Structure 1
Amino acid sequence: MAVDDFLHTDPLLHSNGAHANNSNNKRNINFVSLAKWVLKFTMWIVFLAYVALFFLIPTDFGTELYADWTAATNGSLFGDIGSMLLLYSAPIIFIAFLAVLYLLISGEDQLQLQEKKTPRFRLWTFPVLVDGPLGVVSAAELIGIILFIVFVIWSAYVYTVVIIGTLPGDSTPIEKSFFILENLGLRIGTIGLYCLAFLFIPVARGSVLLRLINIPFEQAIRYHVWLGHLTMLLFTLHGLLYVIAWTMEGHLLKEILEWADIGVAHLAGVISLTAGLLMWMTSLYPVRRNKFELFIYTHQLYVIFIVFFAFHAGHFIFCVPAGGIFLFILDRFLRFCQSRKTVDIISIKCLPCGTMELMFPKPANLRYNALSFIFLQVRELSWLQWHPFSVSSSPLDGKYHLCVLIKAMGEWTEKLKGNVLNSSRADLHLQPRTKITASVEGPYGHELPYHLMYENLILVAGGIGISPFLAILSDIFHRTREGKPCLPRNILIVWAVKRSNELPLLSTNDMELICPFFSNKLSLEILIFVTRESQPPLEEGQVHEATYSSPLVSNSNNMSVLVGTGNNIWSGLYVISSTLGFVILLYLLDIFYINPYDISPWWYKALLLVICMLASVFIFGGVVVSLWHLWERRNAAREASMDDRIAVENMQHDEILAHKDSCQQNFLSSANTYYGSRPDFKDIFGDISEKWGCVDVGVIVCGPPSLQTSVAKEIRSQNIRRQCNHPIFHFNSHSFEL
């Protein structure tokens, strides 16, 4: 009877335990959701207050508030510099701190896929401007652009009114002209200073701020370009107005060469502006496109620009952009630490169309998603050049490797292809092969795999732009087979290529091998447009052979996990420790050097401020990075059979490659190929509207600007004249343009 009682009551105990676990899980989920909401709300409040500050400062009300703030905080720990840092830099750093907490709380549960019953428009994915010089601009981006334009016009108007109102009444017309020019130059420089406060935030590749709002570096770089043009235009006007005023007064050379201890150092400003103009001129599209190396090399003058700007403005004014610059230094130091490690290329496949597939070893805990990209430097080719490439493999393809596709299109990629082919020929003749190593930065990209959040996907590629879509397809097929969160059910691929010899790229991943009978679970349609061939080549039925080169690496050097997107805990500790270190160093400097020795020159105090920023990152942040590196090595050592696993994966990879080649034609035969024509997006999107009905459709484009413009224009047209039973198209660009 006791046994029967036990048998009868045991399930009840399990049931109660399950009930308790469910209750605890729900409680935890509710707590996490509440904490995330509070953090997000706080960050929005701080950000809106920070933006409002820039609009208020030029007004009389803002001037009074600023005076009250200075009076209230001037006796604080760091005096006047503390007031400025708290007002202009602390909000950005505080938001970064909250972003670290937000990412830590979110953890791996960020991918919460919920099918939406009613499609809706989104500001970030609704293209508004498509034909202008800014490229494709979404509604959200347009709001940001308008906000900056309104700020510049508003500030210029208010400052002009102030200048006119303070004109000395008893002065001559020439003296009034000097007064207007110098004061207008000062105020325009102030507006440029406020733009500079945001300039470096978009180029911090692994920044917690970009990860927080899920904007990858490849898209954020556009905002840096726009802000850079605006900032340099304002600074150029600033300097030009002073030059005109000094020329009219007759002491131009004297003023330009002046380096004052108290106040602004003119010569430092001239040096900073000269460096800025060189960067600006070489960043213009014609120069950047035709002389990319010149653009990259001159852009390293940003160090001169920042340092001499600090000398020019002084410690007090340099506090305005210090927050954004500090976050950039944090990112730059981490990138430097990661890129010092060399990575062995463990497998290379060279396709007939001139495209190479490179496989890199990586640790199992290095996180990325199918829309990530990496920066590569091959030291056998150049010690200075870094090139970005989209990842062509899914994280689910293997724990210990990552692949990229590289098409030989420029001088650097042609050299790489030549090295690969020479290495392959050396193998055939039993000669020593050329070892190819690389330094890697990244992976970077979207914090969330947004390609998994649409039930209906359209992937539009031009040429090698198919590379990230191969990763997307592999990711979706793996998830479908393994039952992991994945919404896509209807997928349309539109691929435009110049020549048919590029078609084997589509078979780099064999979907039937990844997910057998995938057609029962997914609807996949492929439209291929071969634009420069009017008919199929005679050898169309033959499989194109690929050249393989698999360097014999006995002890593969993995990619480093020292990257801002790699580990939320370590990257958060790095940001927090560096910031606290900056405060500590600033305090020690103030107590033991500046005050006892009565240091007064503005430019020298600005130099000390910059040194504190750098030292805090190198020393305090460097300690965290060193511990992070030791933790990485310890994890690698703990995986005793890692090399064996990599070898197994490589062997499996070779088998998969062989299988891909054998069934390449079968996969391509399922695609509809059109020769001598380009995709008609009006017809394509029109057919989709009738076929898929009232749903959200995610459109991801990877290709040249002309392709993006064509797709964005049609999406805008379809959305504007949309009927109630038609889908809403969401434009997403995955094209990397420096």
Structure 2
Amino acid sequence: MDDNSVQKPLLSTQSVQEPAGYDVKKKPLTLFLAKWCLKTLMWVIFVSWAAFIFVYPAKSVTELFRKFTRTTNETIFGITGSLFLVFSAPIILVAILAVVYLILSGEEDLHRKKTSQNPRIRFWTFPVLVDGPFGVVSAAELIGILLFAVYVIWAVYIYTMQILSSLSDQLPLKLKSCFFLEILGLRLGSIGMFCLGFLFLPVARGSVLLRLIDIPFEHATRYHVWLGHLTMLLFTLHGLFYVIAWAIEGHLLQELREWKDIGIANSAGVVSLLAGLLMWATSFSPVRKLNFELFFYTHQLYVVFVIFLAFHVGDFIFCMAAGGIFLFMLDRFLRFCQSRRIVKILAAKCHPCGTVELVLSKPSNLQYNALSFVFLQIREFSWLQWHPFSVSSSPLDGKYHMSVLIKVLGQWTSKLRGNITKISETEPEEESPFEPHTKLTASVEGPYGHELPYHLMYENLILVAGGIGLSPFLAILSDILHRVRDGRPCLPRNVLIIWAVKKSNELPLLSTVDMESICPSFSNKLNIETHIYVTREPEPPLEEGKVQSTVNPSLCPVSSSRSMSVLVGTGHKVWSGLYIISSTVGLIILVGLLDIFYINPYGISSWWYKGLLFMVCMAASIVIFGGFVVGLWHLWERRVSAEEECENGNLKDDKADHDEAVTQKNSYLENSANLTSIQYGSRPDFKEIFEGVSKQWGHVDVGVIVCGPPTLQSSVAQEIRSHTLTRQWHYPIFHFNSHSFDL
């Protein structure tokens, strides 16, 4: 029997057996030391940078910083260079070092990253808060929230005490009040600038910093939302305090219209704040869910917000937040270059439950993990709208294609299904043949996801899905089966799938993974169980047992189309690193040349104009220096693709790949009936499920991955928290991982 057979005890205290054919090679000592030094250096730089920002409000630290700026003011870059060096350069330097670290790391051995043989609670996967405005919050995330809250409260307190101590008792109450409001508003603005420096870091989809700490973009968007609310609250109070003070003094309109050359440009600040308020007002969950298009389009005002902020505060104050903004601009330009390519849709399929499956063409050298997602644009519907979808196929399913499942929920997805099936919106269940003349012009950004496939790092997995949330788990199943068959690194041996659906017409989605054809006799190597809960049907339909047919898959004709581009932030590490380094060096060169040949010789002193010039330098360095690297990257991509075609003798054309991708597969329910249970008219009882798993699996680490609506995530997280706090010593430790994307 196979060494990895399920008949072999899974709970042995011995080290995990390596998959057949997997050669474990020890890392050279020099490589280990180099990585250790880089990691230590990055931590020292980041902690020192964050600590300085934290203590900056203290009067002694502020005075020390002013002495530093006075001593460095005579350099070519002036005070702008001093502030950039202190507040923005550290995070950019960490990003550059992160690139080197990731290149040295290469493909980490999964067994080195696996959970310990001694199960223990981990801050990142232990849910502490499960309800409330923040959603499900882990212990590590709660610590981060508390640190930001403590910083803001402490900074406001310090600044308030400093202002009160500077007020003279001889001043009239009116002047005291106005002075207090204006100075406190100024300090709130400076706190907001520091928060703004962090705001753009998590929203960069291919950020090297997110890759370093292995946090995918769909997780990081929550941090962007939290920071966005905090930043806009601070900026709103900043503007409100000034407005109240100016109204008391009787020259409100005059101040609002003022645009100073030397000093703060108030009018630019008003425009920036109004743009920010529009973004903030439409970002709240009720508005976003009611009208996503309104949220999406108003959020593009971030360009106006940032540019007029630079006008408002000038170049040197803008440098307090420029580091995070620059890293975001790097990511945005790379996304723009990638999204210009028209991607061929190899096949389009409509399932009876109202789900659309698209098969996209991709190059063989495009790297991604099973738990990845892409942003998809259909130009016939909108040139601006990009919608995120989980990848439903494993990277091992095929070299030249990638699949996504799309649930029809809103206008955009309804148009997509209607365009494919040519049916009336009033009859969504009526199927009609795919018309061959239908044209879809698609563009893709991504794929994005974890740097390492963390679903492969648990021996025991529980996959909890709600509705279309099954999509990424299909990719996980396929990925695990391919790895077990090929002897690749793969730890999972027990997999439990919990799937809650509204109606039984969604069940055929499981047929997209034919486990026996991928890995024959997989049951000898894996324990895979599936529990399905049909919540809105009290009993099975009469036609139960028959797999409902889908619309015949057809090729979508697209002119001048190719596979998706590999120009993605989570792609090739060396090219990504060269892109970041060249753009950063270009920024330093352009700012230096601007100071030497224009600003200093001509005595340019207008704050808002210097802020504009600094923004132009940031953009130009990315387009010119970074664009040069992107061009070389593109040429390299074409050369690699051409070499592969020559070596493989054009293995297969798009039509053949398409046929392989959309071949009808056997029903999952039929092939694995003995491992699948279906309950009608009920919802999953997670307490009962986890208790059963605890008795069956024993004292092990169990990875729980949830993909579904917030209520499902909260229910699972609440049960995991309750189980962890009351568990017996010989029971498993469940690790909560969310894979839900909520924009």
TM-score (norm. length: structure 1): 0.94
Contact 2:461/2:704 (CA < 8 Å) preserved in 1? yes
Quick one: distance in 2 between partners of 1:592 and 1:94? 27
- The residue identity in structure 2 corresponding to 1:703 is G
SS of alignment partner, residue 541 of structure 1: coil
Q: CA deviation at 1:536?
A: 0.4
Q: CA deviation at 1:668?
A: 5.0
Q: Deviations over 1:579-619 (max 9, x none)?
A: 00000000100000001100000000000000000000011
Quick one: distance in 1 between partners of 2:680 and 2:556? 41
Answer yes or no: is 1:506 the counterpart of 2:510: yes
SS of alignment partner, residue 666 of structure 2: helix
Q: CA deviation at 1:204?
A: 0.3
Q: CA deviation at 1:25?
A: 6.2
- The residue identity in structure 2 corresponding to 1:658 is Q
The answer to which structure, 1 or 2, has the higher relative contact order (CA under 8 A, 6+ apart) is 2
SS of alignment partner, residue 735 of structure 2: strand
Greater alpha carbon shift after TM alignment, 348-357 vs 66-75: 66-75
Aligned to 2:7: none
Q: CA deviation at 1:30?
A: 2.3
- Provide closer, same or farther for how the CA distance between residues 25 and 675 of structure 1 changes in structure 2, counting only shifts above 3 A: closer
- Provide closer, same or farther for how the CA distance between residues 246 and 431 of structure 1 changes in structure 2, counting only shifts above 3 A: closer
- Provide closer, same or farther for how the CA distance between residues 665 and 312 of structure 1 changes in structure 2, counting only shifts above 3 A: same
Quick one: distance in 1 between partners of 2:661 and 2:66? 67
Aligned to 2:130: 130
Q: Deviations over 1:530-549 (max 9, x none)?
A: 00000000000222111123
Aligned to 1:10: none
Contact 2:436/2:557 (CA < 8 Å) preserved in 1? no
Aligned to 1:536: 540
Quick one: distance in 2 between partners of 1:473 and 1:377? 27
How many residues align? The count is 709
Q: Deviations over 1:547-593 (max 9, x none)?
A: 12321669851000010111001111000000000000001000000
Contact 2:345/2:358 (CA < 8 Å) preserved in 1? yes
Aligned to 1:475: 479
Quick one: distance in 1 between partners of 2:673 and 2:564? 34
Listed as ranges, the matches of 1:652-731 within 5 Å are 652-654=660-662, 657-661=663-667, 665-668=670-673, 670-731=675-736
Contact 1:423/1:434 (CA < 8 Å) preserved in 2? no
Aligned to 1:567: 572
Q: Equivalent pairs: percent with the same residue? A: 64
Quick one: distance in 1 between partners of 2:437 and 2:593? 56
Answer yes or no: is 1:644 the counterpart of 2:652: yes
Q: CA deviation at 1:429?
A: 8.7
Q: Deviations over 1:691-721 (max 9, x none)?
A: 1110000000000000000000000000011
Contact 1:200/1:328 (CA < 8 Å) preserved in 2? yes
Q: CA deviation at 1:367?
A: 0.3
Aligned to 1:599: 604
- The residue identity in structure 2 corresponding to 1:49 is S
Quick one: distance in 2 between partners of 1:250 and 1:423? 63
Q: CA deviation at 1:652?
A: 2.9
- Provide closer, same or farther for how the CA distance between residues 637 and 73 of structure 1 changes in structure 2, counting only shifts above 3 A: same
Q: Deviations over 1:458-512 (max 9, x none)?
A: 0000000000000000000100111110000111000000000000111111011
- The residue identity in structure 2 corresponding to 1:176 is K
Listed as ranges, the matches of 1:266-345 within 5 Å are 266-345=266-345
Listed as ranges, the matches of 1:626-637 within 5 Å are 626-637=631-642
Answer yes or no: is 1:420 the counterpart of 2:397: no
Aligned to 2:13: none
Quick one: distance in 2 between partners of 1:199 and 1:32? 34
Q: CA deviation at 1:409?
A: 1.3
SS of alignment partner, residue 665 of structure 2: helix
Contact 2:346/2:654 (CA < 8 Å) preserved in 1? no
Contact 2:393/2:404 (CA < 8 Å) preserved in 1? yes
Q: CA deviation at 1:646?
A: 4.2
Listed as ranges, the matches of 1:158-177 within 5 Å are 158-177=158-177
Aligned to 1:349: 349
Quick one: distance in 1 between partners of 2:566 and 2:110? 22
Aligned to 1:102: 101
Aligned to 1:184: 184
Aligned to 1:34: 33
Q: Deviations over 1:433-475 (max 9, x none)?
A: 1122210000001111000000000000000000000000000
Q: Deviations over 1:269-327 (max 9, x none)?
A: 00000000000000011100101000000000000000000111111100000000000
Q: Deviations over 1:244-275 (max 9, x none)?
A: 10000000001110101111000000000000
- The residue identity in structure 1 corresponding to 2:228 is G
Q: CA deviation at 1:645?
A: 5.2
Going by fraction, where is helix more abundant, 1 or 2?
1
SS of alignment partner, residue 323 of structure 1: helix
Quick one: distance in 1 between partners of 2:404 and 2:435? 27
What runs of 5+ residues in structure 2 fail to find an aligned partner? 1-23, 425-430
Q: CA deviation at 1:178?
A: 1.1
Contact 1:118/1:695 (CA < 8 Å) preserved in 2? yes
Q: CA deviation at 1:127?
A: 0.2
Contact 2:73/2:79 (CA < 8 Å) preserved in 1? yes
SS of alignment partner, residue 461 of structure 1: strand
Quick one: distance in 2 between partners of 1:318 and 1:279? 20
TM-score (norm. length: structure 2): 0.93
- The residue identity in structure 2 corresponding to 1:473 is L
Answer yes or no: is 1:518 the counterpart of 2:517: no
Quick one: distance in 2 between partners of 1:239 and 1:580? 36
Quick one: distance in 2 between partners of 1:528 and 1:120? 30
Q: For the aligned residues, what is the CA RMSD?
A: 1.8
Greater alpha carbon shift after TM alignment, 63-72 vs 454-463: 63-72
What runs of 5+ residues in structure 1 fail to find an aligned partner? 1-23
Aligned to 1:14: none
Contact 2:421/2:433 (CA < 8 Å) preserved in 1? no
